[in-house]
């Protein structure tokens, strides 16, 4: 039992450290000499990197953020120990997903000021809810194509996520359903400032033609 507890602790810690990799901050500083948290929206995420530094920097940031969420949830499958039941393993992976997202939002490497967690949540979702995530991605794309608002698209997609998981995909595992509900709450919470700007009609739309912007 002690070995299992130690295994779970190390897996959760590894997931946090993976999620905390601040791809937006490190790429901005190493390649451009810019801390993206001091420009644009002030967010250490792919959308702000694209606004400030362009697609050449933003796309790698997006891919890394998704990859670290996926890796965090896959690790417990690759590194396991005897006595770990499938049920416990599911909850370890759920815990790893949460730890990775918290790492992204509160990264230890750069003063606990990170991004909003959308990409990392998507990466974890690819591992845990592949079909549900595909449907939610479709919802995101439809809203984004209509509004050009990344924040609104992320919020609506997150709110529909538990509905897709439970009613469309028929998932009944309490841990997985609970995780989908946490996502539906977490994303709007991390987008509080965006919600205020949306209500005021002040939220910036994403301009595909804009390659670089510093403000």
**pLDDT tens digits for range 25-77:** 999 999 999 999 999 889 999 999 999 999 999 999 999 999 999 999 999 99
Segment 97-106, tens digit of pLDDT: 999 999 999 9
Residue range 146-154: mean pLDDT, rounded:
96
User: Residue ranges of the alpha helices (H) in the chain?
Assistant: 2-19, 23-32, 46-53, 55-78, 86-105, 118-128, 130-147, 150-163, 174-190, 192-200
- Position 210 scores a pLDDT of 52
Please, which pLDDT band fits residue 209 given cuts at 50, 70 and 90? low
Q: What is the pTM of this model?
A: 0.93
- Position 208 scores a pLDDT of 66
Residue range 134-160: mean pLDDT, rounded:
97
- Position 198 scores a pLDDT of 96
Candidates 64, 67, 186; CA nearest to 125 is: 67
% pLDDT > 90, the chain: 89
Q: Does pLDDT of 196 surpass 50?
A: yes
Q: Does pLDDT of 88 surpass 60?
A: yes
Q: Does pLDDT of 212 surpass 80?
A: no
């Amino acid at each position: 039992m002690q070995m299992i507890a130690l295994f779970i602790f190390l897996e959760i810690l590894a997931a946090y450290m993976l999620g905390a990799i601040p791809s937006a901050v490190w790429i901005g500083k190493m390649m451009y000499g810019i801390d993206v948290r001091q420009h644009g929206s002030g967010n250490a995420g792919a959308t702000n990197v694209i606004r400030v530094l362009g697609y050449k920097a933003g796309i790698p940031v997006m891919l890394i953020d998704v990859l670290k969420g996926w890796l965090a949830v896959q690790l417990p499958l690759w590194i396991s120990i005897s006595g770990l039941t499938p049920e416990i393993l599911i909850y370890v992976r759920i815990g790893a997903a949460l730890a990775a997202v918290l790492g992204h939002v509160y990264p230890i490497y750069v003063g606990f000021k990170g991004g909003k967690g959308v990409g990392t949540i998507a990466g974890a979702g690819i591992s845990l809810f592949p079909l549900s995530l595909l449907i939610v991605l479709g919802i995101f794309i439809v809203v984004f194509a209509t509004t050009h608002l990344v924040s609104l698209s992320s919020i609506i997609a997150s709110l529909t996520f538990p509905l897709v998981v439970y009613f469309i995909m028929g998932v009944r595992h309490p841990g997985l359903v609970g995780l989908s509900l946490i996502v539906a709450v977490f994303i709007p919470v991390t987008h509080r400032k965006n919600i205020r700007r949306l209500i005021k009609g002040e939220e910036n739309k994403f301009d595909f033609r804009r390659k670089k912007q510093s403000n």
